[in-house]
């Protein structure tokens, strides 16, 4: 048994760790003996919750533990570790401290009799607020990178019917995830496969063939395919290498980025000569070229998602930051110093809520609900 006296334990309370043999029978016997002493099993996330309540962690770090437990790929693990290390908390607390400082200056100014108000003070306050809004807005316009890294980066496979989209997805998934068939229009819904691409969580979606059809179900599949293709971060446009005309104009499509994939090169004699040079030549049937395509895709994903600066990872943080930015913006146009101070106080509240410095009781249940027992 290991004894960790408060406050130097993981939760900040007295903690005893029992190291016992892992068999069910041994566990059951020990649990029963402890229950007779009036002890109970921890609720999901209870250890982390207590650590938070005792000031061992801020909320961002508690969320990072949940992310770390759920991480499936290396990039997700790294993002969670960085957040656990506290860099996101440091950034947000820095902003909170700046607002506190500006507010303190402003309140000092409010207490000045009118005639003594230093003229340059208001100007400096406005400058600082403007700068802060700029920083927060810059942080917010990150293309949701951190959130996508948590949830999976969407890649949509699109292209004409029978080009081999389902076959490519199967190759990528290395298993039969989608039904392939020689009859056009078999993929009527969107089929997704989650893969670990060079450490990044990527969800590849196969979509119904893009073509006109009078079949109502197929039309619905087409609509879903279009929506998915629009939402995706990257599109793979698959076409039959024997019909390069199908890919005409695709490379000029706007965002998101579209990679051209010329499939069925096993059926044509000299792909180098007949294909657009920007297309990735592959054969979903033999697997030729698929590794090169995936490695290029991984490269693009890595480029977009690897980040030096701390990134926003949750919608909860985004919402609070948007509220803070809008309170700060409002404070700039406030007509009275008292109103400006009130807006700054609101901004302060929003920022404090991210790290858990104020009124978070209602948030705690939501956040710790996702934890597994024993964490």
Which residue in the shown chain puts its C-beta closest to ligand GDP?
Answer: 164
Quote the tokens at residue 26: 């041994």
| Neighbouring residues of 299: CB distance < 8 A, sequence distance ≥ 6 | none
Quote the tokens at residue 267: 């059926």
Q: Which is nearer to ligand GDP, 16 or 217 (CB)?
A: 217
Nearest approach in angstroms of CB 216 to ligand GDP is 19
Q: Which is nearer to ligand GDP, 11 or 180 (CB)?
A: 180
* CB burial of residue 54 (10 Å; 0-12, 13-18, 19+): middle
Helix spans in 9-144 (H): 24-36, 46-53, 59-70, 74-85, 87-111, 119-140
Quote the tokens at residue 69: 């437990």
CA dist., res. 32 & res. 37, Å (int): 9
Q: Which is nearer to ligand GDP, 179 or 332 (CB)?
A: 179
| Residue ranges that bind ligand GDP, judged by CB under 6 A | 161-167, 180-182, 187, 209, 263-264, 266-267, 283-285
Nearest approach in angstroms of CB 309 to ligand GDP is 40
Nearest approach in angstroms of CB 198 to ligand GDP is 24
The phi and psi torsions of 17 (rounded to 5 degrees) equal -110, 125
Q: Which is nearer to ligand GDP, 196 or 288 (CB)?
A: 288
In the chain, what is the greatest distance between 2 CA atoms, to the nearest angstrom?
88
Q: Which is nearer to ligand GDP, 138 or 227 (CB)?
A: 227
Q: Would you give the distance in Å from CA 323 to the centre of its chain?
A: 20
Nearest approach in angstroms of CB 253 to ligand GDP is 18
Nearest approach in angstroms of CB 145 to ligand GDP is 30
CA dist., res. 104 & res. 268, Å (int): 74
* Nearest one of 76, 129, 59, 80 to 360, comparing CA atoms: 59
Quote the tokens at residue 107: 């309140």
Nearest approach in angstroms of CB 218 to ligand GDP is 11
Nearest approach in angstroms of CB 275 to ligand GDP is 13
Q: Which is nearer to ligand GDP, 258 or 263 (CB)?
A: 263
Q: Which is nearer to ligand GDP, 73 or 166 (CB)?
A: 166
Q: Which residues pair with 158 in a beta bridge?
A: 237
Q: Which is nearer to ligand GDP, 163 or 321 (CB)?
A: 163
Q: Which is nearer to ligand GDP, 284 or 341 (CB)?
A: 284
Nearest approach in angstroms of CB 165 to ligand GDP is 3
CA dist., res. 328 & res. 304, Å (int): 30
Nearest approach in angstroms of CB 188 to ligand GDP is 11
Taking each helix axis from N to C end, the angle separating 74-85 and 87-111, rounded to the nearest 10 degrees, works out to 40
Nearest approach in angstroms of CB 271 to ligand GDP is 11
Measure Cα distances from 79 to 67, 170, 233, 250, 306 in Å. 9, 29, 19, 34, 10
Question: Is the CB of residue 194 less than 8 Å from the CB of residue 147?
Answer: no
Q: Which is nearer to ligand GDP, 162 or 313 (CB)?
A: 162
Phi/psi class of residue 245: alpha, beta or left (left: φ > 0; alpha: ψ in -120 to 50)?
A: alpha
């Amino acid at each position: 048994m290991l004894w960790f006296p408060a406050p130097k334990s993981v939760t900040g309370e007295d903690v005893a760790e029992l190291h016992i043999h892992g068999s069910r029978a041994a566990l059951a016997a020990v649990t029963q003996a402890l229950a007779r002493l009036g002890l109970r099993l921890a609720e999901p996330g209870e250890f982390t919750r207590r650590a938070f309540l005792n000031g061992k962690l801020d909320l961002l770090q508690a969320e990072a533990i949940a992310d770390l437990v759920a991480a499936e790929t290396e990039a997700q693990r790294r993002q969670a570790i960085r957040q656990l290390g506290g860099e996101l908390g440091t950034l947000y607390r820095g902003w909170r401290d700046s607002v506190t400082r500006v507010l303190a200056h402003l309140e000092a100014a409010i207490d000045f009799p009118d005639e003594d108000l230093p003229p340059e003070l208001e100007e400096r306050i406005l400058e600082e607020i403007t700068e802060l809004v700029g920083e927060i807005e810059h942080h917010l316009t990150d293309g949701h990178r951190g959130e996508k890294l948590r949830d999976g980066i969407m890649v949509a496979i699109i292209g004409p019917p029978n080009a081999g989209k389902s076959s490519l997805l199967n190759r990528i998934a290395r298993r039969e995830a989608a039904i392939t068939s020689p009859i056009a229009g078999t993929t009527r819904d969107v089929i997704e496969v989650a893969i670990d691409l060079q450490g990044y969580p990527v969800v590849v979606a196969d979509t119904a063939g893009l073509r006109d059809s009078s079949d109502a179900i197929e039309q619905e599949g087409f609509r879903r395919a279009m929506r998915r293709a629009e939402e995706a971060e990257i599109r793979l446009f698959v076409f039959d290498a024997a019909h390069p005309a199908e890919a005409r104009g695709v490379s000029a499509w706007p965002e998101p980025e579209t990679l051209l994939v010329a499939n069925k090169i096993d059926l044509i004699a000299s792909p180098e000569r007949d294909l657009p040079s920007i297309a990735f030549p592959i054969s979903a049937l033999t697997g030729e070229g698929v590794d090169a395509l995936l490695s290029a895709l991984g490269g693009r994903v890595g480029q977009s998602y690897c980040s030096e600066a701390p990134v926003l990872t949750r919608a909860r943080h985004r919402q609070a930051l948007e509220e803070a930015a809008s309170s700060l913006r409002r404070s700039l146009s406030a007509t009275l110093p008292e109103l400006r101070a009130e807006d700054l106080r609101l901004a302060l509240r929003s920022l404090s809520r991210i790290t858990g410095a104020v009124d978070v009781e209602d948030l705690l249940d939501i956040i710790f609900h996702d934890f597994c027992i024993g964490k």
